[in-house]
Amino acid sequence: MQNQLANVISAWRPGSHKRASAVKRTRKLLYGLFFAMLFCGIGYVLIYPLIYIFATAVKSTGDMLDTTTIWIAKQPTVQNFPDAWGFMEYPAALIQTLKIAGGVTLLNLIFCSTIGYGFARFKFRERGLLFALVVFTLIVPPQVITLPQYIFFVRFDIFGIVGALTGGRTINFNNSPWPFLLPALFGQGLKSGLFIYIFRQFYRGMPVELEEAGYIDGCGTIRTYLRIMLPNAVPAFVTVGLLSFVWHWNDVFGQTQYLMQAPTLSMRLVGINGLITRSAQVSDLSYLVPTRYAGVALVILPLIVIYLIGQRFFVQSVERSGIVG
């Protein structure tokens, strides 16, 4: 690096025959420096919350009160983690979250892909209109339909069939995962419209010859889809699976509607201050703050692990999934 710099400077002397190439090299060096600085800055902003979460999570009460401690705890403690684990009732909440995030993601993968395939490969007159409706579901703010949907699920009864079978009673789906699973079953879950869109774009980009070969060899529509299209659509599946899982893992709005008696991790996290003050009778911020961040760390740790394992594949798959119109 130093050598390069010296070369560049010497070449700049007036009359140097190397001057033309030196201009190029200097420009390259300056560009490199500029981008290095820019990305260091942005990278810092991106990684900052993570560092902050883990640095705060290991602080003891003494560290919080010590004005000279800013980042690195002088008396680090891991006690915050088991404490937060206990306050959040982590195992129970984790099971709830897994039920929702895992179940919905599975349904999204099965149904959004099929629906997307229907939009991508089969021509019929009202297809454009139907697809416009898919995009429309994306822009409906969930707040508009929250209450009617809530009433629908609390007194679940399709066309009076359930009532007729049980003698006038309806099913209450409150505090069960069904208000999330049922819409996902029909491609109507949280941001399912986007997933249908991604699958449609992906299938549209695949060569038609693949399917035609299948048809000629005597495969039906479903066999062709399962044997030929699916194995080639792995990148789209990874993308959608990851996004769907993460968004449901972190979702607060929908989950507070239906799961007040069966809280998930994200709900525990939003209410963690109250949980700590109520169960430990502590409202001292020097204890509250590190414990809260220990809780944050516990919730995002599984996601970070998944991301680190899947990131390379994810980034590549996004590039190849052809989300692009």
Contact between 269 and other proteins per CB under 8 A: yes
Residue 273 Cα distances to 52, 54, 64, 279, angstroms: 18, 18, 17, 10
Give, for 57, the enclosing helix (H) or strand (E): helix 19-57
By CB under 8 A, name the one of 228, 275, 296, 298 that touches other proteins: 296
- In the complex, the smallest distance separating the C-beta of residue 259 from other proteins, rounded to whole angstroms, is 13
Owner of token pair 């009778």: 281
Q: How far is the CB of 64 from other proteins (least distance, A)?
A: 5
Using the rule CB under 8 A, which residue among 35, 210, 274, 278 binds other proteins?
35
Q: Minimum CB separation from other proteins for residue 147, in Å?
A: 5
Phi-psi region of 15 (alpha: psi -120 to 50; beta: other; left: phi over 0): left
Subset of residues 236 to 265 that bind other proteins, contact rule: CB under 8 A = 243, 246-247, 250-253, 265
The residue among 121, 142, 141, 144 whose CA lies nearest residue 131 is: 121
Name which position in 58, 84, 134, 294 contacts other proteins (CB under 8 A). Answer: 134
Among 1, 161, 216, 324, binds other proteins (CB under 8 A): 324
Whether residue 288 contacts residue 273, with contact meaning beta carbons closer than 8 Å, is answered with yes
Evaluate whether 240 touches 195 at the Cβ level (below 8 Å): yes
Q: How many residues bind other proteins (CB under 8 A)?
A: 95
Alpha carbons 191 and 211: distance in angstroms, whole number? 29
138 binds other proteins (CB under 8 A): yes
Neighbours of 49 (CB within 10 A): 11
Taking the complex as a whole, the smallest distance from the CB of residue 266 to other proteins amounts, in Å, to 4
Contact residue for other proteins among 16, 33, 49, 309 (CB under 8 A): 49
Q: Does 67 bind other proteins (CB under 8 A)?
A: yes
Work out whether 118 is an interface residue with other proteins (CB under 8 A): yes
Which lies closer to other proteins via its Cβ, residue 22 or residue 120?
120
> Any contact of residue 217 with other proteins (CB under 8 A)?
no
Cα 60 to the center of its chain, rounded Å: 32
Q: Are 298 and 81 in contact (CB under 8 A)?
A: yes
Q: Is residue 103 a contact partner of residue 181, using CB atoms and an 8 Å limit?
A: yes
Q: Within 77-106, which residues bind other proteins (CB under 8 A)?
A: none
Cβ atoms 190, 204 nearer than 8 A: no
- 3 vs 67 by CB, closer to other proteins: 67
Q: Is 212 in the site for other proteins (CB under 8 A)?
A: no
CB of residue 154 to other proteins, shortest distance in Å: 10
Does residue 145 contact residue 136 with C-beta atoms inside 8 Å? no
Select from 304, 295, 278 the least CA-distant residue to 80: 295
Kindly report the length of the chain: 325
The one among 127, 223, 227, 278 contacting other proteins by CB under 8 A: 127
Closer to other proteins by CB, 22 or 117: give it.
117
